[in-house]
Amino acid sequence: MSSVTLEQVVKRYGTVTAVKNLDLEIRDGEFMVLVGPSGCGKTTALRMIAGLEDITEGRVRIGEKVVNDVEPRDRDIAMVFQNYALYPHMDVFENMAFGLKIRKMPKAEIDKRINDVAELLDISSYLKRKPRELSGGQRQRVALGRAIVREPQVFLMDEPLSNLDAKLRVQTRAEIIKLHRRLGITTIYVTHDQVEAMTMGDRMAVMKDGVLQQCDEPMKIYNEPANMFVAGFIGTPSMNFVPVTLRKEAGGTFVVDSGTFILDAPVKDAATLEPWVGKKVILGMRPADMYDRNLKNPVEATEGNTITVDVDVVEPMGDVCTLALKAGELELVAVVDGGTQVKIGDKMPIVVDLSRAHLFDPETEKAIV
Amino acid sequence: MADFVDSTESRSDEPQVSGKKPMPPGQVFIRHLFLILISLTTLAPFLWMVLTSFKPMNEVSNLNPIPIHWQPENYPEVFKQIPFAHYYFNSVFIAAWTTFLQVLTSAMAAFAFSRLRWPGRDQVFRLYLATLMIPGIVTMIPNYAIMVNLHLLDSYTGLIVPASFTAFGTFLLRQFMLTIPRALDEAAAIDGASAGTVFWDVILPLARPGLITLAIFSFMGNYGSLLWPMILVKSEGLRTLPVGMMFFDSNYGKATNLIMAASVMNIVPLIILFVVTQKYLVKGIQLGAVKG
């Protein structure tokens, strides 16, 4: 096991900069998820840690050792690829033994390790099969097994679940989490799937356009997004963003005015809000923090947290119901309790949990509160 | 299962919405007749050769292709009149070595051109490909001069080494190797493999259809090679079959029946090779047309 540190890492392809001044420390034994949309530089960052891409600027350390010029084979890492990259001409045993044979490990030790890992991953009965004779889920486990038998300092995983169907993905996700708990090996996991990022990582690093946006524990990122990108990327459906003007009322309370509705400001901290009075800001409300006032809610309805909207689309999912709403020209999405009785075309009162809402600077897109 | 059968049956009754309409029988007949005629033009010389090889000498110029008196003795006679078995061995020996070396050198070059990153790689590859445009006959004399300087005239080495490198083979295998996912090299590199191990243990086994295709082309080309062996070889012991048959022709100028018998025996290894490796050959020829 070992920590991994990226210091001011830059990757350029010609004039295109794929990763910009990335600073990231993955602690010993930690499960770190790199998440972001396609082209955000997360895979490039992972490949630089693996040694599959040269580092244009900056330093990568594995433990105390700077590995910029160290060959992949000498970094003591193992990687699980998106398409598994199993050797098609070798059977499962040979696939898993390949790296061990190269390291000239005694045959008895190879056999023992492979049998132990095969048992752990429940692939013992496939050891003599070729990859083409396995299902996607089985191949995925073999790819994991090939990485585990090496007992490396660091695991690198590049979207290993993206080729699996939804059900298998959930199942394998849980298996990987359990495996990490059991082995305790430092793991860096790349995904574009925010559900994987939220559920798997001890911490997650959200990236966009090669720039690290925020790195923290998943719930902290969900509750306290650093900017509008992170706020919109994490959480399904995405956060509602409404351009509003911050005003200070006669009684000293702060409100936000969208032109269509007026709500109390998300926080009462005068010092934070004072500089923004009279200015345009962006109000961010998560769909799950919006409630049907006609049902029993955790938030007490007041004039300052309720808006009236038109129901545009109703998507009942059983336990919850996703609503597409209109407040004048504004389009909002809410996820309310499945017991809601609203129908398309209804006017309905929506209660917003303003303690969980956010304000963003419209220019920098950074969070104000 | 019953549902499956039912659905299949009902589908056959439905009108065909998409796809081509079936061809009228008359048109099918005409198309097949055309194809058969085309096939005959390639098959006829071969049949003529086989039938003539069974004719007595006095029937050779007879326009009737079927022998009136069958004479299978022509075959043992070939072995009596010239050291046919020895020429046979030379041809197979030289073609096998050349094939082995061509496949090996082409695979190594293709690996360097397709999997390794080095400055000027693509420029060198283009230059290498450009040599395909130079006819072999142009390099014949310089090659001969090199062989003279290396004292390799009239030797197996002189017959084998100059033919052991091929730009065509390199191109063919490079294209094949480009279809092998790069993630495999990367997985192997992380597993601890050197470039040599990646080549030998990962890429070569996966490039097998390409290697076999090249081996077939190479064997056929070298087995039938005439000009280079004719120029390089003086001693009878080193003659290959095509060269030997040429001498056979001049010694027994009118023995066309024996020449045909020798020719039939000459092509037998190629036919066996083709039949055994046919599926790889077809797969190899499709390279580039269908990726992966």
Of A75, A77, A102, the CB nearest to B193: A102
Q: Is A128 helix (H, G, I), strand (E, B) or coil?
A: coil
Mutate to test the interface with B, among A53, A83, A87 (most CBs of B within 10 A): A87
Overall pTM > 0.90: no
Give dist(CA B184, CA B198) in Å, integer: 9
Q: Answer whether A52 sits within 8 Å of B186, measured CB to CB.
A: yes
Residue B236 has pLDDT above 50, yes or no: yes
> What digits encode the pLDDT tens for the residues A239-291?
999 999 999 988 888 999 999 999 999 876 778 888 999 999 999 999 999 99
> What digits encode the pLDDT tens for the residues A300-315?
889 899 999 999 999 9
> What digits encode the pLDDT tens for the residues B110-148?
999 999 989 999 999 999 999 888 888 888 899 999 999
Cα of A162 to nearest chain B Cα, Å:
16
> What digits encode the pLDDT tens for the residues B195-224?
999 999 999 999 988 998 899 889 988 998
Quote the mean pLDDT of chain B: 85
What whole-number percentage of chain A has pLDDT above 90? 78
> What digits encode the pLDDT tens for the residues B105-115?
999 999 999 99
> What digits encode the pLDDT tens for the residues A33-66?
999 999 999 999 999 999 999 999 999 999 989 9
Cα of B283 to nearest chain A Cα, Å:
18
Span A126-155, average pLDDT: 91
Q: Which residue has the tokens 């022509």?
A: B74
Please tell me the predicted confidence (pLDDT) of residue B6.
39
Q: Answer whether B186 sits within 8 Å of A88, measured CB to CB.
A: no
Give dist(CA B153, CA B146) in Å, integer: 9
Confidence of residue B249 (pLDDT cuts 50, 70, 90): low
Is A148 within 8 Å of chain B by CB? no
Residue B292 has pLDDT above 60, yes or no: no
Residue spans of alpha helices (H) in chain A: 42-50, 92-102, 107-121, 136-149, 166-183, 194-200, 218-223, 228-233, 270-273
Q: Answer whether B191 sits within 8 Å of A73, measured CB to CB.
A: yes
Query: What residue of B is the nearest CA neighbor of A156?
Result: B190
Please tell me the predicted confidence (pLDDT) of residue A12.
95
Query: Which residues have CB under 8 Å from A107's CB, separation 6+?
Result: none
Q: Answer whether A99 sits within 8 Å of B192, measured CB to CB.
A: yes
Q: Is A218 helix (H, G, I), strand (E, B) or coil?
A: helix
Please tell me the predicted confidence (pLDDT) of residue B253.
61
The widest CA-to-CA distance across chain A, in whole angstroms, is 82
Of A213-217, A247-251, B152-156, minimum mean pLDDT range: A247-251
Of A87, A88, A103, the CB nearest to B192: A103
The widest CA-to-CA distance across chain B, in whole angstroms, is 79
Please tell me the predicted confidence (pLDDT) of residue B277.
81
Please tell me the predicted confidence (pLDDT) of residue A299.
87
